[in-house]
């Protein structure tokens, strides 16, 4: 099936869904959390539509809506002869909001309740990301077991259509957040991804990048309060001691250190997660680059060789 929908099995709001490969929340669920009518929430969005580009908000298709409705009612959706879902009437197609879209809602709803609710929802998104990253090895093992099981039972499949359905189902439950590629021009998306790494840190961030500038400090303002940052860069850095001093007056604390021993860019979160980033942070999205999570056993070796 072209569009997959998966509800995460963790203790969060249970309202975060996986639609079109993104974690989103539906307008009616958000309206319930914000304590407003769905109609009013969408009215405010329409009045401020410039703040909600497609990667912040998108409208569901009829098929996606029926799948969500059928699962919420513990019903099995059926297909008619034309391949369309039947058994439920859809009068209005809802909107799905990504994490960035949820953050923007607090600005357009303009109330203390909206701000506090947005904070609560954003924390749910962060919890979900932590769960996925902390368990990616388990997901990989499950994925491997499914592949072996499919290979073992493949002779029992009666038709090519059935084979395609099984592989589609397997792909639907594969969760891969260990690596990714951004192409030239995806500047916002690349910075949003980097900031998601930053917000994950609870105690410490170590950034190794030879070409840091003030834009990097700007991204680091998104870190959690009291998270300490150490930046390793070349001695000819564009950041001055005064820049660091001014930053620390508002967002303590960053320590600047120098090294000439590292060529690649690395980001270490809480001494546990090691990201290898293919571009300097200040140049994210200007050209095609990739990122990946490396084995955490390399962290101490990298630190020792700085």
Q: Which of 213, 130, 211, 144 is nearest to 174 (CA)?
A: 144
Confidence bin at 172 (pLDDT 50/70/90): very low
pLDDT tens digits, 144-163: 666 666 655 555 555 455 55
Global pTM? 0.44
Average pLDDT over all residues of the chain:
78
Q: How many CA atoms lie within 13 A of 184 on its CB side?
A: 1
Helices (H) and strands (E) in the chain, counts: 11, 14
Quote the pLDDT of residue 245. 92
- CB-CB neighbours of 128 under 10 Å: 18
Residue 8 has pLDDT above 60, yes or no: no
- 3-class DSSP state of 87: coil
Quote the pLDDT of residue 138. 62
Quote the pLDDT of residue 210. 92
**Alpha-helical runs (H) found in the chain:** 27-34, 38-47, 62-72, 99-109, 112-134, 136-153, 160-172, 187-200, 214-220, 241-250, 299-304
Least confident window among 22-26, 158-162, 236-240, 256-260: 158-162
- 3-class DSSP state of 235: coil
Backbone angles phi, psi at 195, to 5 degrees: -65, -30
Residue 3 has pLDDT above 50, yes or no: no
Q: Could you tell me which residue, 128 or 303, shows the higher pLDDT?
A: 303
Q: Which of 194, 202, 249 is nearest to 228 (CA)?
A: 202
Q: Kindly report the CATH number that applies to the domain delimited by 179-304.
A: 3.30.870.10
Quote the pLDDT of residue 140. 61
- What proportion of the chain, given as a percentage, has pLDDT over 70? 73
- 3-class DSSP state of 146: helix
pLDDT tens digits, 22-40: 888 899 988 888 888 999 9
């Amino acid at each position: 099936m072209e569009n997959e929908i998966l509800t995460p099995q963790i203790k969060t709001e249970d309202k975060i869904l996986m639609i079109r490969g993104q974690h989103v929340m539906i307008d009616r669920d958000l309206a319930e959390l914000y304590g407003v009518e769905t109609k009013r929430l969408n009215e405010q969005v329409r009045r401020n539509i410039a703040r909600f580009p497609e990667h912040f908000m998108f409208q569901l298709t009829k098929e996606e809506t029926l799948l969500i409705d059928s699962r919420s009612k513990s019903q099995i959706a059926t297909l008619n002869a034309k391949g369309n879902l039947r058994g439920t009437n859809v009068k209005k197609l809802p909107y799905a909001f990504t994490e960035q879209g949820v953050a923007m809602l607090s600005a357009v709803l303009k109330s203390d309740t909206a701000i506090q609710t947005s904070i609560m929802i954003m924390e749910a998104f962060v919890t979900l990301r932590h769960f996925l990253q902390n368990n990616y090895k388990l997901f990989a093992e499950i994925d491997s077991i499914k592949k072996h099981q499919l290979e073992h039972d493949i002779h029992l499949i009666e038709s090519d259509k059935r084979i395609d359905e099984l592989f589609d189902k397997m792909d639907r439950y594969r969760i891969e957040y260990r690596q990714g590629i951004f192409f030239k021009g995806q500047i916002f998306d690349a910075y949003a991804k980097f900031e998601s790494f930053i917000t994950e840190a609870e105690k410490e961030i170590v950034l190794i990048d030879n070409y840091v500038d003030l834009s990097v400090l700007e991204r680091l303002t998104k870190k959690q309060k009291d998270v300490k940052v150490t930046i390793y860069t070349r001695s000819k850095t564009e950041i001055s001691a005064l820049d660091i001093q001014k930053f620390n007056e508002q967002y303590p604390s960053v320590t600047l250190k120098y090294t000439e021993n590292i060529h690649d860019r690395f980001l270490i979160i809480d001494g546990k997660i090691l990201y290898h980033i293919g571009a300097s942070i200040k140049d994210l999205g200007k050209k095609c680059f990739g990122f990946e999570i490396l084995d955490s056993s390399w962290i101490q070796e990298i630190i020792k060789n700085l």
